[in-house]
Amino acid sequence: MYIAISNRYALLPAYSAYPLPKSSTRQTNATITKKTKPSKFCRKAERGYQARLLTRARKICEATIIDDHIDMAEDERTDMAKANQTDAKRISADHGHSTTRSAIGASFIQRTKKAGQVLWATAKRAIQQFWNNKPHVRFVPQAQIRQFHSEQQALMVTYDSGADGHYISERDRAQAK
């Protein structure tokens, strides 16, 4: 019962907190009536709202001031680091960014080693493809649409990174456990 009455009072403009009723003079047939005074609840709500706004503004100002001082300190440290010509990191970075040095390619040993690795991988793939009768998963270059019927069992294949790059089915995985 009390809640129902409180809700009815909240609907009345004199007891509502937001929006606050504007205190204005009413004119009726050229007669001025007295100003309506907001309720105590409205004044209390307005003071709370103003206090929250003031607190929020103070926090924003403090955060802005702190951010500005941090930016100034970072800029100062950057300028000091750029001015130090004897720093080893600075010398290394300048050398790396210089355009006067020539681009040095891979050495003869590195190129030979890479060519050997490529040749070995190609030969290994060819041997596995022609002489190994184990089924392997192959990926087609274009996407294909496959249709499965509800009475047929679909093949489930997942990649098991812990099994050295081999593909296994869910059934095989369950049997392995």
Question: Of the given ranges (1-10, 62-71, 167-176), which has the lowest mean pLDDT?
Answer: 1-10
pLDDT of 11 over the 70 cut: no
pLDDT tens-place string over residues 13-23: 655 555 554 55
Residue 21 and residue 14 in contact, taking contact as beta carbons nearer than 8 Å: yes
Tell whether 124 is covered by a domain. Answer: no
**Residue 101 DSSP symbol:** S
pLDDT tens-place string over residues 75-122: 888 888 888 888 888 888 888 787 666 667 788 999 999 999 999 999
pLDDT of 1 over the 70 cut: no
pLDDT tens-place string over residues 36-86: 788 888 889 999 999 999 999 998 888 888 888 998 988 888 888 888 888
What is the residue type of 43?
R
The CA distance from 42 to 15, in Å, is: 7
Which residues span the domain enclosing 37?
A: 8-22+33-87
- The CB density around residue 98, as the number of other CB atoms within 10 Å, is 8
pLDDT tens-place string over residues 134-157: 666 677 778 888 777 778 776 666
Tell whether 164 is covered by a domain. Answer: no
Tell whether 117 is covered by a domain. Answer: no
Tokens linked to 105: 């390619």
Q: How many domains does the chain fold into?
A: 1
Q: Are strands 31-32 and 27-28 parallel, antiparallel or unpaired?
A: antiparallel
Tell whether 166 is covered by a domain. Answer: no
Block residue for tokens 């019962």: 1
The residue with greater pLDDT, 160 or 6, is 6
**Entry pTM:** 0.29
Tell whether 175 is covered by a domain. Answer: no
